[in-house]
Amino acid sequence: MGLVTPFELTRDELGALTGRTGRRSDPVTVRLSTYLDDVDRQLQRISTMVTVVSAVATFLVLLLVFWLWGSVS
């Protein structure tokens, strides 16, 4: 059995961090950097979705304001 560096986690240790449980007999190690890259990708997706939804909402609000302004005058 080799030494585990601080940058490697077993599936059980990763499950303890993420709240997910796995089989205890599973010896697969997951690199922490790989896990953090996945988290970073997810955060980028969420950020992109928030930006798109915000832009669409702003456009619709401006459209509504100009439509109401045109109907009043």
What is the residue whose two structure tokens read 């080799």? 2
**30 and 22 Cβ atoms separated by less than 8 Å:** no
Nearest to 26 by CA among 14, 38, 39: 14
Grouping H, G, I as helix, E, B as strand and the rest as coil, residue 2 is coil
Domain range annotation of the chain = 8-72
List, for residues 6-57, the tens digit of each pLDDT value: 556 666 676 777 666 655 555 556 677 888 888 899 999 999 999 999 999 9
Grouping H, G, I as helix, E, B as strand and the rest as coil, residue 69 is helix
pLDDT of residue 1: 46
What is the residue whose two structure tokens read 């961090």? 17
Grouping H, G, I as helix, E, B as strand and the rest as coil, residue 6 is coil
